[in-house]
A and B are shown apart, each in its own frame.
Chain A
Amino acid sequence: MGFVYKTEEFNKVLEALESKYRIFAPVLKIGEGRFRDTDVIRYDYISRIEDAELDERSDFSFKEILIPLSETMFYFTEDEIKEADYDARPVIVLMRSCDIHAVKRLDQMYTGNGPANDWFYERLRDRVKFALIGCGKACPNSFCVDMGTNRTNEYAFSIDMADGKVYCDVRDDELKPAFESTGAKADVSPRFVTEAEFRVERPEEVPVELFKDKMWDEYTKRCVNCGRCNFVCPTCTCFTIQDIFYTDNGRVGERRRVNASCMVDGYTDVAGGLVMRKTNGERMRFKVLHKVYDFRKRFGYDMCVGCGRCDTVCPEYISFANCINKLNARVKEVSANV
């Protein structure tokens, strides 16, 4: 069911939704970027649609709403272990098509890998609905079209802003009343891009020799293992569990899980001092093959959604899209020589 609103009318819709939901959306934070006088687009709660950044892709993804950077799991007080409370209020998250596809990957890891589901993820996931931000243009460094993530119909409602009006396609029946009170009915379908900034070609099979191939040496030289690519990635799910105790009372403490990066030192350390992947090239290989090969081998579809955030954030200008294409070329080369 489609609707067209003037901006003020749509804010009334948001107001109606806010009686039950909080609205989590990309917001342009002026002057809060990494360097002086730079901006950053991060997720935050909004009440008015003008506060959301609908044209540019967010620098960080939505994923902190489902997997917070640092999440307390348990509190320990003397002999008691208590599950940490959480904010159970329902949330509507505004996100692009690629990110909606990323949610499927998060669900896969936390509720579809192995016999046990992730309890902490499930309780956060249960309270979230997703709304689609239509894509009027391709994002910088994106390759979503070749990853098959540029389109989706898995949304509660869509938002496209054009010529001062807000266009919505509402699919979630529960939310319809909030949309029907104002605006005008119309045929609306969200915008999707059909050409991304980059094209990528993925190899069907990656022979085992490629794991130790010299193509990865380039990244040992270039990568500085800062891990930013992992933290901005909407599909990276790794975490490390850490216990702490409060220094002024050692009898009280907590167990947390913190986002982990397979590029950063410590990820593969085992007791006794062994480190499984020492060079940044090996770590890059581990990450890249997971995103465009290993995950697919296990679950039948690729993990990477082609959003391009990792390229944009990399301080060494390493391009993930280029790397996929280099990998594909190298696989062809190696296979031809067999």
Chain B
Amino acid sequence: MCNCGKNEYTPVPSKLQDIIKHTAQEWTFRFTYVGDVKPGQFFQISIPKVGECPISVSGIGPDYVDLTLRAVGKVTDYLFENFKAGDSLFLRGPYGNGFDVHEFEGGELIIVVGGTAVSPVRGVVQYLCETESAKDVHMIAGFKDPGEIMFKADLKDWAEKIDLTLTVDGAPEGYGGKVGLVTKYIPDIPIRDISKCKAIVVGPPPMIRFSMIELVKRGLSEDNVWISDSRRMSCGIGKCGHCRINDKYVCIDGPVFKFSEHKTLID
């Protein structure tokens, strides 16, 4: 018989503790999980006979992880339609490098996120909110329209601790909040020393591209920017090949990359 070690592909049962509905299409599923995990890492949600999908960790608790997902595929649609709190399903992970929260402590930090991309950085913001660095965190969170705003309770809480700009791409008349793309607000962020300032930029590729143009205009070094990438990987452990870009595998070398490195990776 084979003396092979642990079978990493084996899905592990996990009880669904809660479902938090942000919008009709975007819900947070709270899965029972005890073990090491970092913000920015991801799990494979595994539904036997349906399939698996990689989802980044949006929250970490003593006996759970939150996975926030949008119903846009076979597995996610099935999850939305068939599960409720108390049900049991399967997970495997965590995979990937994740964010090192200590990296962002003790200096100025700009965070630019769009839509569901709040998920991978939520743990970083939560951590920094409890430190002295909170006052130096400048976050711009953009959503498509007021109805698409997610993590409302968090945003309210963070607004009291960090410099938060909440904006929507477009809104019906009479909307009281900020309107405009995230890039509109980058020039106004008050930064004392841009040469030492760090940034986290996570969102759809065009949002990252145009945010970087604005950030670099301000004098930010590309070496000080972290992004989080995603692909539809089958394995999550550097075997299936789907997430390879040049000599890097998003699942094991990422999903968090320094921008200066990531910009040399061409799909």
Contacts and interface: CB of A to CB of B under 8 A. Distances in A.
Contact of B239 (A113, A245, A269): A113
A244 B72 CA distance: 19
Interface string A253-281: 10101001010000111111000110000
Contacts of B247: 294-295, 297-298
B237 A268 contact: no
B139 to A, nearest CB: 24
B240 A260 contact: yes
B120 to A, nearest CB: 16
B4 interface: yes
A116 B238 CA distance: 8
A295 B244 CA distance: 10
Interface in B211-267: 230-232, 234-235, 237-242, 244, 246-247, 249, 251-252, 264, 266-267
Contact of B240 (A122, A238, A243, A255): A238
Nearest to A124: B2
A121 B230 CA distance: 26
Contacts of A121: 239
Contacts of B232: 268-271
Contacts of A317: none
Contacts of B5: 117, 119, 122
Interface string A231-249: 0000001111111110000
Contacts of A243: 47-52
A208 B266 contact: yes
B83 interface: no
Nearest to B246: A294
Interface stretch (B8-16, B30-38, B143-151): B8-16
Contact of B72 (A73, A109, A271): A271
B76 interface: yes
Contact of B73 (A119, A127, A271): A271
A110 B239 contact: yes
Interface string B49-78: 111110000000000000000101100100
B102 interface: no
Contacts, number: 135
Interface residues on B, range: 35 or more
B231 A255 contact: no
B2 A83 contact: no
A290 B50 CA distance: 31
A276 B73 contact: no
A123 B4 contact: yes
A172 interface: no
A227 B25 CA distance: 36
B240 A119 contact: no
A297 to B, nearest CB: 4
A118 interface: yes
Contact of A241 (B10, B51, B252): B51
A241 B52 contact: yes
A144 to B, nearest CB: 24
A264 B54 CA distance: 22
A126 interface: yes
B97 to A, nearest CB: 11
Contact of B49 (A115, A240, A250, A277): A250
B176 to A, nearest CB: 30
B1 interface: yes
B152 interface: no
Contacts of B82: none
Interface in A101-142: 109-110, 113-123, 126-127
A208 B267 CA distance: 12
B245 to A, nearest CB: 8
A21 interface: no
Given A271-B76, A276-B267, A297-B246, A126 B4 contact: yes
B124 to A, nearest CB: 23
Nearest to B4: A122
Interface in A184-232: 208, 211-212
A74 interface: yes
A94 B29 CA distance: 51
Contact of B235 (A74, A241, A244): A241
B192 interface: no
A173 B234 CA distance: 40
A193 B11 CA distance: 48
A69 interface: no
Q: Which 7 A-B pairs have the closest CB atoms?
A: A114-B238, A238-B241, A253-B49, A123-B2, A119-B7, A114-B252, A122-B4
25 contacts: A74-B11, A74-B48, A81-B90, A88-B2, A109-B238, A113-B252, A114-B238, A114-B239, A116-B237, A122-B5, A127-B2, A237-B239, A237-B241, A239-B235, A243-B47, A243-B51, A245-B49, A255-B48, A260-B242, A268-B242, A270-B232, A271-B232, A277-B267, A286-B267, A294-B246
Interface of B: 1-11, 47-53, 70, 72-73, 76, 90, 230-232, 234-235, 237-242, 244, 246-247, 249, 251-252, 264, 266-267
Given A81-B11, A116-B237, A241-B51, 18 more contacts: A73-B9, A81-B10, A113-B252, A114-B237, A114-B238, A114-B239, A114-B252, A116-B8, A119-B7, A119-B9, A120-B9, A211-B246, A255-B48, A268-B231, A269-B232, A271-B70, A294-B244, A297-B246
